[in-house]
Structure 1
Amino acid sequence: MPRLSTAEATVETLLLHGLDTVYALPGLHQDPLFDAFYHASDRLRVIHPRHEQTAAYMALGAALATGRPQAFGVVPGPGLLNAGAALLTAYGMNAPVIGLIGQIPQADIDRGHGHLHEIHDQLGLMRHITKWAERIRSPQEAPTLVSQAIWQATSGRPRPVALECALDTWAKRSEVVIPDAPLPLPPESIDDEAVETAARILGNAERPIIVLGGGALDASAEIIKLAEMLEAPVSSYRRGRGIIPSSHRLAVDMPIGHRLWKDADAVLAVGTRFFIQNGSWGIDDRLKVVRVDIDPDEPERFRKPDAALVGDAAPQLRALIASLARHNRERASRAEELNGHRAWFAERLSKLEPQVSFLKAIRNALPEDGIFVDEVSQMGFASRVALPIEKPRTFLSPGYQDNLGWGFGTALGAKAAMPGRKVLAIAGDGGFMYQVGELATAVRHNIAVVVVVFDNGAFGNVKRIQQERYGNRLIASDLQNPDFAKLAESFGIASFKALDARQLEDALHKAFALNAPALVWVPHGDVPSPWDLIMMPKVRG
């Protein structure tokens, strides 16, 4: 039985679970943990950014791009709070992120002595923004709690978890038992009666539609099979994009899904909160609803569906496919109908310039398996409905938190975890400055992300709202910016300037060819609003 410190036992258990990278910033409370990282450096990579928010965002980006758990480490108190936005985003995006958070000496926790970085009830705070959180109190507990943390992050509905450990506890040594293997995930169960009910509903429908969310990311083959059996258009938005390729004959962007919604007689909603359809588009008794979700609380959150399959999407859908074969009706091709909707959408997008041309340039330069990281910006909003996506986990978007400034750090994590893929992050000038210091991280660790900074000198969405709703009373929406090309060069990063879509595409090809960090600066003026293609009105119910 090995004699290890708590920190060493934690590292060994992470490695057992296949976590070979930690995104972390050092500090007094984490010194013993970083010493354990050092001694495992032949097996474990530590990437240190310049801010705690980025450590957590990098773990988030890596988790979103791979679908596997990823770890970050920060000091307590302000370190945790700095990472809080990323943890909150990971919670909203169902991402398996593991936080390793420092603490003050164990005997003084929550006693109010005023230790460096002390915060009252840090464990309770973490439990508000994670699925599960615990404190490691001894070396013997570390393997069990780390294993349990990873199990919690990956079993059922994936979500972030956190472990805190006191400075003195990290350093304590004892004989410990490292588990032989990760904890087994719970077995998948199939409710045959619910599957039969769902199959009858969908099989009898004349005009079914499928709606996808991030819970369907690992069920592409099953989704495509079902869509083709049902001749059902497949509508996706943000995390659901790429599960069915945009080029597939039944794939439709969300605005077309909205046009189809009022006449649909059945919907299969897979791995989605279904919030937009329930909350905005409307549901009535003529629309039969079948939900598939791994979270048993999700299907009835808004209203009781006509059938609910609870479990991982892929096996549940395979069971549905088998049953549907016995109940499915013949349907005519919907190609002509969908082509008509696509013509309408193309005409509408022609008014969304220059965003659409810039997005076409990005699509032309970024390979199909390249990863695109959306940002809360005018270009980001447009990309959610106008950028074709061919593969799952290649469109990363910040979910319902929609927090400004998430993108660059997330892209760094995605690239660090997927070094063989091209990774492109877009940012507005406002959001990019949240993590601009991480240009140094990209250089220090040679993380070859290409970031495109669209610079309109404003918080563009705030400015538009003030113009349209508040009588053009502009306040705190204008921005003073650097020369982004010179800024990048000061970090030793290649920079390009593009004034139109053609120049952008050319710059991107050159930037990707470098296989090194690069920045493309795109100054531009005001752009038209995409919001009528996102915030669409109620059409039924």
Structure 2
Amino acid sequence: MKQQRTCGEALTALLEAYGVDTVFGIPGVHTIELYRGFKDANIQHITPRHEQGAGFMADGYARVKGKPGVCYIITGPGMTNIVTAMGQAMQDSIPMLVISSVNRTAQLAMGEGRLHELPNQLAITKGVSRYNHTLLNVDNLPKVLAQAFAVFSSQRPGPVHIEIPIDVLAQDASHIDMTPWPMPAPPAANPQSIDAAAALLASAERPLMILGGGARHASKPAQALAEKLVMPIVNTCNGKGVVPSSHPLCIGSTPSHPAIREEIEQHADVVIAVGTELAETDYDFFFLGDLAMQGKLIRVDIDNGQLLRNHRPDVPVLADASLALAAINSQILDEKSSKMDAAVARCKAIQDKTLDMKKATYADFFATLTDTLGDCVIVGDSTQPAYYAQAYYETHHTARYFHSTTGYGTLGYAFPAAIGAALASPETPVIGLTGDGGGQFSLSEIISAVDAQVPVIYIVWNNSGHGEIRRFMDDANVTRTGVDITSPDYAALAAAMGCASATVNSLEDLKASLLAAKQHTGPFLIQLNEDALGCGYAF
């Protein structure tokens, strides 16, 4: 008698019940059962050309959509391929669900040379996941998925890996309750912690707020608290747009800049840091040394371990950012009427100090993008304009700019991650911004965008090799080795893949190509020669 529903079919149906609408994956002989349920599911499947691309697509999707990106991954090499993407998502606290197959239950850990066999897949993914599990009993599928989605709903997010033996994937799951489990809400803060934080802020003469990626959903209470205390606001790179850059109290999104570091370290008597690691890649981008704050520090984070890393807090607040800020806000009196003018002047003075490294050529490049496309999403790789954007590109909303330049710092991110971002927000123009060196890590994903007809706009910033590392070698008096690589003609490659393309050598040509790309129904690649623009290094 034919089974009514296999474990693989039940998994797909349960994912749909949890709100999943897109899966990224490359089908393989071990994952056939994962795909049996697609015929009855309202879930689109996107096929990358490499499992790392699947992970980066899920990452870009999650950042823009605000819910987990999901991947179906083959046993063994599929898992080792996606680990780099999981590392990037782990570093940036991006929700990602990786479902993989693994060898049959009776064959696990036997080392018998089975197809795709790894001695211990979970050991490989342990360091790049918040939770990982081997499903050995089909009856536990609803519980395990509930634990996975609980990570996304109520903890510091990141990748989750669930592996399922291929024999378990084929087992009968007709008896399983397919109702999603209720999800726990994110935690509120201890009242004593809120009292201590509010008291410290109320006594401050020169308070300052820093907003990291963990404050992405806390825009309203963050802005309300800053306005009550009339304090400057610093958004980190992953916090760009949490408070709009146009807000008069917002002083920029690079706490690495010497002027902003000086304000944090020497002038602020109380700093409230929300959802930020206070780590090197955000605060020491120019290698000036770790932060040394002289004032008091309030840290708000959903991760108890993170509260005690990098910098000792005077008041640690373990809670969801939005709930904590709202609670603190309820205890603070509104002072903006008497102090706002002075605070705005203070912020303007700090902003003016940050303009010393701003380059007009890069400013004009980004202005061309936004003036032509309007509200758009820019997904950056490790490339000169992304380094510049770390310091100077500002947004009015969250999830409008993100990159792999900082944090884990992988290459090959933009091509696939921009696909995920465009699928998450099809009404918003999405730019994948990569260098000619980094782009070679994942240029095959251009054809994935063609297959799916995703209207992503790719811009390849061509400086004939690994320009940033070339500069570091020169500065260190090291003979250039391995950095002057041959770069392909990206426009010709894109055309060969069925992707519309153009090569531009001026901002006027770039604008014309952006307008053409905006009207195009599929992906469009623009190759831009850095030398023609006269940009040079970002800093």
Tell me how far 1:245 sits from its aligned partner.
1.0
Residue 323 of structure 1 aligns to a residue whose secondary structure is: coil
* Alpha-carbon separation, structure 1, partners of 2:357 and 2:413: 29
The amino acid of 1:417's aligned partner reads A
* Alpha-carbon separation, structure 1, partners of 2:170 and 2:179: 23
Tell me how far 1:125 sits from its aligned partner.
1.7
Query: How far does the alpha carbon of each residue in 1:399-451 deviate from its partner, in whole angstroms, 9 at most, with x for none?
Result: 51010111111110111122122111100001111111111111111111101
- State the number of aligned residues: 523
- Out of 309, 312, 321, which is 2:329 matched to? 321
- Alignment-derived partner of residue 88 in structure 1: 87
* Alpha-carbon separation, structure 2, partners of 1:315 and 1:152: 17
- Alignment-derived partner of residue 182 in structure 1: 181
1:101 aligns with 2:100: yes
- Out of 354, 363, 382, which is 1:376 matched to? 382
Residue 198 of structure 1 aligns to a residue whose secondary structure is: helix
Residue 465 of structure 2 aligns to a residue whose secondary structure is: coil
- Alignment-derived partner of residue 347 in structure 2: 338
- Alignment-derived partner of residue 405 in structure 1: 412
- Alignment-derived partner of residue 310 in structure 2: 302
| TM-score, length basis structure 2 | 0.92
Pair 504,326 (structure 1): closer, same or farther in 2 beyond 3 Å: closer
* Alpha-carbon separation, structure 1, partners of 2:506 and 2:317: 48
* Alpha-carbon separation, structure 2, partners of 1:483 and 1:511: 19
* Alpha-carbon separation, structure 2, partners of 1:249 and 1:56: 38
1:229 aligns with 2:228: yes
The amino acid of 1:345's aligned partner reads T
* Alpha-carbon separation, structure 2, partners of 1:462 and 1:251: 33
Tell me how far 1:179 sits from its aligned partner.
4.1
Tell me how far 1:202 sits from its aligned partner.
1.3
Residue 520 of structure 1 aligns to a residue whose secondary structure is: strand
Pair 258,267 (structure 1): closer, same or farther in 2 beyond 3 Å: same
1:207 aligns with 2:206: yes
* Alpha-carbon separation, structure 2, partners of 1:289 and 1:115: 54
Contact 2:261 2:291 in 1 (8 A): no
- Alignment-derived partner of residue 501 in structure 1: 507
Unaligned 5+ runs, structure 1: 532-541
The amino acid of 1:275's aligned partner reads A
* Alpha-carbon separation, structure 2, partners of 1:488 and 1:430: 16
Give the stretch that moved more between structures: 444-453 or 127-136.
127-136
* Alpha-carbon separation, structure 2, partners of 1:424 and 1:228: 33
Written as runs of structure 1 = structure 2, the 5 A alignment for 1:111-510 is 111-186=110-185, 188-253=187-252, 254=254, 255=257, 256-261=259-264, 262-276=266-280, 277=283, 280=289, 282-284=291-293, 286-325=294-333, 331=339, 333-349=342-358, 352=359, 354-368=361-375, 370-398=376-404, 399-471=406-478, 473-510=479-516
* Alpha-carbon separation, structure 2, partners of 1:310 and 1:490: 53
- Alignment-derived partner of residue 8 in structure 2: 7
* Alpha-carbon separation, structure 2, partners of 1:330 and 1:270: 26
The amino acid of 2:213's aligned partner reads G
* Alpha-carbon separation, structure 2, partners of 1:147 and 1:192: 29
* Alpha-carbon separation, structure 1, partners of 2:195 and 2:338: 18
Tell me how far 1:516 sits from its aligned partner.
2.1
Query: How far does the alpha carbon of each residue in 1:324-343 deviate from its partner, in whole angstroms, 9 at most, with x for none?
Result: 12899953523333333333
* Alpha-carbon separation, structure 1, partners of 2:8 and 2:418: 29
Contact 2:208 2:231 in 1 (8 A): yes
- Alignment-derived partner of residue 538 in structure 1: none
Residue 458 of structure 2 aligns to a residue whose secondary structure is: strand
* Alpha-carbon separation, structure 2, partners of 1:181 and 1:166: 23
CA RMSD in angstroms, aligned pairs only: 2.1
* Alpha-carbon separation, structure 2, partners of 1:365 and 1:233: 31
Residue 228 of structure 2 aligns to a residue whose secondary structure is: helix
Tell me how far 1:353 sits from its aligned partner.
5.1
* Alpha-carbon separation, structure 1, partners of 2:496 and 2:383: 25
Query: How far does the alpha carbon of each residue in 1:335-385 deviate from its partner, in whole angstroms, 9 at most, with x for none?
Result: 333333333433531xx35323212212222323x2111111111100111
Residue 8 of structure 1 aligns to a residue whose secondary structure is: helix
1:514 aligns with 2:514: no
Contact 1:63 1:95 in 2 (8 A): yes
* Alpha-carbon separation, structure 2, partners of 1:443 and 1:165: 31
Residue 297 of structure 2 aligns to a residue whose secondary structure is: strand
Contact 1:266 1:288 in 2 (8 A): yes
* Alpha-carbon separation, structure 1, partners of 2:69 and 2:313: 34
The amino acid of 1:373's aligned partner reads V
Unaligned 5+ runs, structure 2: none
* Alpha-carbon separation, structure 2, partners of 1:374 and 1:236: 18
Tell me how far 1:528 sits from its aligned partner.
4.4
Instruction: State, as a whole percentage, how many aligned pairs show the same letter.
Output: 26
- Alignment-derived partner of residue 34 in structure 1: 35
Give the stretch that moved more between structures: 302-311 or 16-25.
302-311
* Alpha-carbon separation, structure 2, partners of 1:459 and 1:353: 23
The amino acid of 2:511's aligned partner reads E
Pair 20,468 (structure 1): closer, same or farther in 2 beyond 3 Å: same
Pair 503,337 (structure 1): closer, same or farther in 2 beyond 3 Å: farther
Give the stretch that moved more between structures: 320-329 or 76-85.
320-329
* Alpha-carbon separation, structure 1, partners of 2:246 and 2:72: 40
* Alpha-carbon separation, structure 2, partners of 1:340 and 1:327: 21
